[in-house]
Structure 1
Amino acid sequence: MSKEIPVAIAFSVVSNLLPFKALAGDYDQLFIFGDSLSDNGNLYRITGGTIPLSPPYFQGRFSNGPVWVEVLGSYLNIDANDTSNYAAGGSTSGNTNVLSESLIIPLPSLSSQINDFASTSVTPSSNALFILWAGANDYLIQPIEKRATNTQIVVNNLSNAITTLINKGARNIIVPNLPDLGKTPQERSQGTADSTTAAIKSHNSNLNSALQEIAKNRNVNIIPLDINALFNEVIDQPDRYGLTNINDPCFDQQAATICPNPDEYLFWDNIILQIADTSLLQNTPMQF
């Protein structure tokens, strides 16, 4: 997805998840792969500071603030010099980037990110933490005729990427599932909400099965992160998270206007979650 989850949800994941509290300090390296959900400015640099437009997006992030992996790295006291972020906005789980065609330039995909890492001489520490979060763009690409309909293919792409990381030395890997993208303003406005919701449900089911299979390798610590459950909880209980609007984007891209109270909106734009409330994600299910 060429959109990003902004900062405060990320902060809550970091500051309130007991497993990470217990393990804080154990990780000494951070390697990140995925799309705009984790892109800390890579696509912005590749496109010469043109995508995403900053401001209103925050310093080249597809968000209104630092992305969650940045907050996580800081919480775990992992030095920036020991962090390698390969994520790029628009990346799909396969060999394409949804923005490449419109920009008429080759842009990173998850596959190219993994290949770039695998081709380096870097040997990860046994205490390195890896994050792989991708797949949303496969289901949100426009026009809809280009969207993935076989979710197992997308999950296979993710599984292959994880296997490559393991073969390269990864031992601790966070793999978030996908939120219900059918509930985003974009999908509701174009009448694809139901089909996208069904695709995400299938994707997450297949991903869970794939991760269970990979986790049979006792030398590897697979850490599933249930973003879908959190997202649904926020939709069902917005008051708990200080939200007053869970339907509309704060940033209207067509009108180029920003709402006066972004902290109270769930969505930053038509796809991006607005994460200005640090209570979000405090109860995110994460299994170790």
Structure 2
Amino acid sequence: MKKIINVAILFAAAFILTPVLAAEPKYNAFYVFGDSLSDTGNVLAITKLQKIDPAIPPSESPHQTYYQGRFSNGPVAVEYLWRQLDDNASLTPFLSKPKIPSTGGVSFAFGGSTSGYLNQMPGGLYVPGVLGQIELYRKVLNGKTANSRALYAVWTGANDYLMGRTDQPSEVVTNISKAIQTLYSLGARNFLIPNLPDLGLTPMVQVNGGGADFMALTQSHNAQLAQALKQLTQRLRGIQIFYVDLFTLSQNLLSDDKKFMLIPPALEVLAPGTGATDCFITDPSICPDVDVSAELPPPHLVFWDLMHPTTFIHKLYGDAMLESLKAKK
């Protein structure tokens, strides 16, 4: 069974070409497409529906190793962003409210998803990839035009590489471009697009000795993504693309190891020797009860498990995303 390695590395900074600080933008809705970095409870909902016990990610006692269906110990980056954009509003998982409201925040993201239409995650569960998630959004629109005042986040790619789906960035970037173009054709105009942080820094990748290869793969992906976004900006009239550069800040992490630590993951500190760092992949029934609200002493631990960042890091991502939206050409 292939292991999912959903990655996020520390800090984030955001930019678009020739940025100038502007007033905080106002969006009346926020729709998110992606993987476990943006899933606010969709995988939890579908595994509960299938009566998988414990549901994934294990979020209830006696297996409370994750926070309320997030693949972390707290809210994720896009939640932190939306709270700042809409006065502490929530980002609802799509499966809990399949009829999309005209305003508000909805996450279509599924943990374990790739950039395509459909893929299998560990345990045999099939989840919609980003292109599949957009088809779900198209379906619930039911022929209506997408909200042009909404913000649309597309954050994907890591699982394509880390789950061994492909080693060709052109395939993944093509899917991201198609996702943006499809949303644009439906009426979307405002896009938040993060690149990939250095996948080679992920604890599981480091343990397996693949750091250099995955770093090179990340660099190739990001270069092709930046070029594709530039072309879309030039070609699609009225589009706004806010690009978030996670790779640069993940590199800056390497010179700031007194404040942040990649290893060990927080779960290894809180539940040593229990196998908690990858229990949701190997055997969810062995996931232990963990105090997900526990404060850990500095330096800040970047990862909650072998793959997913802590909510502290997600908060930094959310702040950086907000800064990207305050910039304009």
Range class of TM-score, shorter chain? 0.7 to 0.9
Q: Which residue of 1 aligns with 2:57?
A: 52
**Structure 1 residues 87 and 227, CA gap change in structure 2 (3 angstroms):** same
| Alpha-carbon distance between aligned partners in 1 of 2:192 and 2:199, rounded to the nearest angstrom | 20
Q: Which residue of 1 aligns with 2:126?
A: 106
**Structure 1 residues 260 and 194, CA gap change in structure 2 (3 angstroms):** same
3-state SS, counterpart of residue 276 of structure 1: helix
| Alpha-carbon distance between aligned partners in 2 of 1:246 and 1:107, rounded to the nearest angstrom | 29
| Alpha-carbon distance between aligned partners in 1 of 2:276 and 2:21, rounded to the nearest angstrom | 39
Which amino acid in 2 is paired with 1:196?
A: F
| Alpha-carbon distance between aligned partners in 1 of 2:65 and 2:45, rounded to the nearest angstrom | 16
Q: Contact 1:5 / 1:67 at 8 angstroms: preserved in 2?
A: no
Q: Contact 1:29 / 1:124 at 8 angstroms: preserved in 2?
A: no
Tell me which structure has the larger Cα radius of gyration.
Answer: 2
Which amino acid in 2 is paired with 1:246?
A: L
Q: Which residue of 2 aligns with 1:136?
A: 158
Map 1:134-173; keep pairs closer than 5 Å.
134-141=156-163, 146-173=164-191
**Structure 1 residues 135 and 283, CA gap change in structure 2 (3 angstroms):** closer
**Structure 1 residues 106 and 255, CA gap change in structure 2 (3 angstroms):** closer
Map 1:1-288; keep pairs closer than 5 Å.
3=6, 22-24=23-25, 26-48=26-48, 50-54=55-59, 55-77=64-86, 79-80=89-90, 82-99=104-121, 102-119=122-139, 120-121=141-142, 122-141=144-163, 146-216=164-234, 217-239=236-258, 242-243=259-260, 245-252=261-268, 255-256=275-276, 261=296, 264-276=300-312, 280-281=316-317, 286=324, 288=328
3-state SS, counterpart of residue 263 of structure 2: strand
Q: Contact 1:250 / 1:265 at 8 angstroms: preserved in 2?
A: yes
Which amino acid in 2 is paired with 1:261?
A: L
Identity of aligned residues (%): 35
**Structure 1 residues 57 and 9, CA gap change in structure 2 (3 angstroms):** farther
TM-score of the pair, normalised by structure 1:
0.83
TM-score of the pair, normalised by structure 2:
0.74
Q: Which runs of 4+ in 1 moved over 3 A?
A: 1-6, 18-21, 78-81, 257-260, 277-288
3-state SS, counterpart of residue 192 of structure 2: strand
Q: Contact 1:4 / 1:61 at 8 angstroms: preserved in 2?
A: no
RMSD over aligned Cα atoms:
3.0
**Structure 1 residues 269 and 19, CA gap change in structure 2 (3 angstroms):** farther
Give aligned pairs, total: 272
Which protein has greater RCO, CA pairs closer than 8 Å, 6+ apart?
2
3-state SS, counterpart of residue 152 of structure 1: helix
Q: Which runs of no fewer than 5 residues in structure 2 stay unpaired?
A: 49-53, 91-100, 278-289
Q: Which runs of no fewer than 5 residues in structure 1 stay unpaired?
A: none
Cα deviation, 1:64-121, whole Å, max 9, x if unaligned, reads 110111111110117545212100000101133341xx43343221121011112223
Cα deviation, 1:180-212, whole Å, max 9, x if unaligned, reads 011111001112111111111100000000000
